[in-house]
Amino acid sequence: MPRIASALPLAVAASLALGVMATTGVSGAGAAPAPTAPERRPGCTTMRSADGNEPPCNPALAQSPWAAAHRGSYAQASSPLPGPRPGQEVDVQSIRLAPHGTGVPIVHEFSEPYADGRRVVWGSVISTPENEGVFKVDERTGEVIDFYQEPTGRPSSSSSGAYSVLDRDGRLIVAHRQTLDVYADQVQGVRTSPIDKVRSLDLTGVMCRDDDRIVGITMLYDGMVAFATELGVVGVVPRQPGHMTPANLRTVSQNGADCDDPAVERDDLEQVSNSIAADENGGIYVVTSKAQYKYRWDGRRLGRAWRATYETGGVQGGARLGAGSGSTPSLMGTGRRDDKFVVITDGRPLMHLVLMWRDKIPAGWKPIAPGKDRRIACEVPVRFGDPKRTQTVSEQSVLVRGDAVVVVDNTHALDPAYAAMPEQVRPFSVVADQAEPNAPHGIERIDWRPRSRTCKVRWANPDVSMPNGIPTMSVRSGLVYDVGLHDGVWGLSGVDFRTGEERLWVPSSAEPFENSFFAASQIGPRGAVWTGNLHGLTVFRPRRG
């Protein structure tokens, strides 16, 4: 997932009272253990897929095509379901969400079917205080059922509401600035019901500093919501609104005592600027500006499993929104015999793909180079098909399917100019994507080879422009999808997963509001691809019949 700059002029969440709790070690020590009996749900089964590479079903999430950022807790962003195919007629629908102007839904989630057999799309927008809120859209028609608008006039100094999860009971849990907010149908089980806010847990007391904020969120397999803050606080709390209380909250801090030391500058603290991932064994994966972490939740205590450093040093500015990695950690390896990794892109001027062993490092494994962390399995420079390139960057999570990963280029020509501007202005270099030559071009696939235990570039396409959106992939269609640009026109681009050839192009509009602005492309029901734009959603629906 793209990281969101801490100084963006976006809305912040409401704040409720919460007693101060420790931010080092295990918070709430001495309190009753959090209720964490593993979720049990009939019918929670892993989706069938032609390639056999589906992550295990998470029984705490909605059983739907897409229930969390990057689709699920593994954050792979790939799907066994079909998307638009070459030669199909595809209808394009633009949906305006916020009633008072623009609002970008970075991610959104699809519900389970209601009693009438139909679904809705849930999500939140990041924008100005006048637009901050949560939406509910009819999946079949695109009609906006409701837009729950948060109170206006509150101070806004950072992004809010970029990430969310939809739980098995149809509740949307959103990570706002210093709160976890829970939304549900006002009339339970009624598809056309208005939205109601049913819980708001204030986390002010566990923040590293007063200006800290929640950045990432995911769902653990036992029903705990995991979150990470910008200044390195990682926590878990039950998903049920009645149990989402301070007594059931557990946190650890990456920065520890440095949080309270005024001599430590903010920029010297490890910072989180992406979302997070989780496995079925309580593993929580968080990448900071300096290192990749794995935490483990055992049902009672939260603690660090390991920490591994990776290389940084690239210039921050423009589409590059923070120091270090620009990707949410993605988990590779779904089968019992698969090699299992956490996958990120690093922060060097010439970006590298990095695979790290996520569990026990194989016996006898040696560092890939002197000075490298032994946990690193491979590093591959990403040049997007141009051997002369010395600078590349991607602010999108790495797309994973099986032993393959796909990375898109976000290196904008205007980035150096925006790097000299105030921090809150830098991300808007992507608004100028339609002005050539600002738009980046390039997509690359890199494979892990289990037999040789090495990584190798499978293909690279230097011509395709997927300038700022998060890609997805369909096993059934065999295509990688993302919002793209052709001669200043926005649309849906489909690249062959096997060859890297662009095989699909569905134009939407040359209107600037169709800019994806870091939003995710997501495969929904009935072969449609949904994505956010500067004022709402764009849907690419294959015609039926």
Q: Domain residues of the chain, as ranges? A: 1-40+61-77+100-309
Count the residues in the chain.
545
pLDDT of res. 324: 85
H or E stretch covering 29: none
Under 8 Å between Cβ of 287 and 304: no
Q: pLDDT tens-digit profile of 336-376?
A: 999 999 999 998 999 999 999 999 999 999 999 999 999 99
Residue pLDDT, tens place only, 429-452: 788 788 878 889 999 999 999 999
The span from the CA of 282 to the CA of 201, in Å, is 22
pLDDT band at 228 (very low <50, low <70, confident <90, very high): very high
Amino acid identity of residue 3, one-letter, is: R
Residues 440 and 427: their CA atoms lie apart, in Å, by 14
pLDDT at 498 over 90: yes
Residue 90 burial (10 A CB sphere; 0-12, 13-18, 19+): buried
| 93-138 confidence digits (pLDDT tens) | 999 986 655 678 999 999 999 999 999 999 999 865 556 789 999 9
Candidate from 8-17, 216-225, 305-314, 444-453 with smallest mean pLDDT: 8-17
What pLDDT is stored for residue 128 in this prediction? Answer: 56
226 contacts 282 by C-beta, under 8 angstroms:
no
* 367 CB neighbour count, 10 Å cutoff: 11
Check: CB of residue 11 under 8 Å from CB of residue 330.
no
- Checking if the pLDDT of 37 tops 60, the result is no
Average pLDDT, the chain: 88
Closest CA to 176 of 212, 144, 208: 212
- Cα–Cα distance between 231 and 269 in angstroms, integer? 7
What's the rounded Cα separation, in Å, for the pair 62 and 108? 12
Distance spanning both ends of the chain, measured CA to CA: 35
The encoded tokens of residue 52 equal: 């056999």
Residue 417 phi/psi, 5-degree rounding, is -70, -40
Query: pLDDT class for 14, splitting at 50, 70, 90?
Result: very low
The backbone region for 313, taken as left when phi is positive above 0, alpha when psi lies in -120 to 50, beta otherwise, is left
Structure confidence at residue 10 (pLDDT): 29
Q: Is 70:465 a contact under the CB 8 Å cutoff?
A: no
Topology of the domain covering 1-40+61-77+100-309: Methylamine Dehydrogenase; Chain H (2.130.10)
Residue position matching structure tokens 């769902």: 219
Q: Which of 119, 123, 120 is nearest to 134 (CA)?
A: 123
Q: Which residue has the tokens 């379901």?
A: 81
Collapsed DSSP state (helix, strand, coil) of residue 499: coil
pTM beyond 0.85, yes or no: yes
Which residue's entry shows tokens 């052709």?
A: 486
Distance from C-alpha of 412 to C-alpha of 433, rounded to nearest angstrom: 8
> Other C-beta atoms within 10 Å of 170: how many?
19
DSSP 456-490: EEEEEESS----SPBPEEETTTTEEEEEEEETTEE
Distance CA 432, CA 434 (A): 5
